[in-house]
């Protein structure tokens, strides 16, 4: 099963549909393939923006017909079809030329990545029926001594709302996605929970993800992350009983925080895959 990504517009009665993106194939094991797939995903998004409503036949092609896509099992998860939500009538798209601040006008919960196939709900996750997460519950992801300063920062730096989703895969990998909406993109820059010296509860230390650093500085893939601030961290060896990975995406007025942890080690491939898909939904 493959996932797809479509987008609506803020005008008209029937929003056009963008061509699908293969959700399960975005992060292969080999770094060279990773570069190729990211370039391909970016190209699809560009084509979609230029010709909304036009089908490009990606769903009819075999995976081996597409640049960089491998049929080899490499740990990727199978995600259901993902769709960018339609903004309210008259509201611009986040990446629209008339939206200089890249403000997201769609409901925040609709911007979150859906859980992959085979996942079960995380009953310990603290969110209400509308996926709203109290700031104190979100701050539990950070060490106790860091929470007061982070809470003060959230209160003074324009936080409007936090939504979240969490799931657990059959292999025990636990994923938490938080979307923090601020009053503007300028306030997002002040968020302290993703700085280079960030610490998380249960993780003795975090360092920059070396594989993603390769992607970020590679000339052929720099356009893929253009316009979105991305930072990935991993708990280096030797870690304790479980390993934690942290991904941060800044897209306009929204800060995404993605945390994956697993006993014995959190795999890199599904972590990168989850981050890339969430980035696509944020536009």
- Mean pLDDT over 85-110 rounds to 86
Range of the domain at 96: 5-282
Ranked by mean pLDDT, the top range of 38-42, 116-120, 239-243 is 116-120
Rounded Cα gap, residues 251 and 231, in angstroms: 12
What's the pLDDT score for residue 215? 55
Look over the chain and give the mean of its residue pLDDT values, rounded to a whole number.
76
pTM (2 decimals)?
A: 0.75
The number of folded domains in the chain is 1
What's the pLDDT score for residue 226? 42
124 versus 5: the higher-pLDDT residue is 124
| Whether residue 14 has pLDDT greater than 60 | no
| Whether residue 45 has pLDDT greater than 60 | no
What's the pLDDT score for residue 210? 85
52 versus 177: the higher-pLDDT residue is 177
What's the pLDDT score for residue 229? 84
């Amino acid at each position: 099963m493959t996932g797809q990504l479509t987008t609506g517009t803020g005008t008209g009665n029937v929003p056009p549909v963008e061509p699908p993106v293969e959700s399960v194939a975005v992060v292969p094991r080999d770094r060279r393939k990773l570069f190729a797939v990211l370039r391909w995903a970016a190209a699809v998004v560009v084509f979609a923006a230029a010709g909304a409503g036009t089908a490009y036949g990606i769903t009819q092609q075999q995976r081996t017909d597409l640049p960089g896509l491998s049929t080899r099992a490499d740990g990727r998860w199978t995600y259901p079809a993902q769709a960018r939500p339609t903004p309210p009538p008259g509201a611009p798209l986040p990446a629209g030329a008339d939206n200089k601040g890249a403000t997201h006008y769609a409901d925040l919960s609709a911007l979150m990545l859906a859980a992959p196939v085979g996942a079960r709900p995380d009953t310990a996750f603290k969110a209400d029926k509308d996926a709203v997460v109290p700031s104190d519950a979100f701050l539990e992801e950070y060490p106790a001594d860091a929470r007061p300063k982070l809470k003060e920062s959230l209160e003074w730096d324009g936080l409007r709302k936090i939504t979240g989703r969490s799931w657990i895969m059959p292999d025990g990998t636990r994923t938490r996605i938080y979307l923090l909406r601020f009053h503007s993109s300028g306030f997002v820059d002040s968020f302290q929970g993703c700085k280079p010296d960030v610490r998380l509860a249960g993780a003795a230390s975090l360092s920059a993800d070396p594989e993603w650093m390769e992607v970020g500085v590679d000339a052929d893939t720099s356009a893929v992350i253009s316009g979105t601030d991305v930072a990935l961290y991993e708990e280096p060896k030797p870690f304790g009983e479980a390993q934690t990975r942290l991904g941060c995406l800044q897209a306009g007025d929204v800060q995404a925080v993605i945390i994956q942890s697993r006993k014995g080690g959190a795999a890199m491939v599904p972590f990168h895959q989850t981050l890339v898909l969430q980035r696509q939904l944020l536009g």
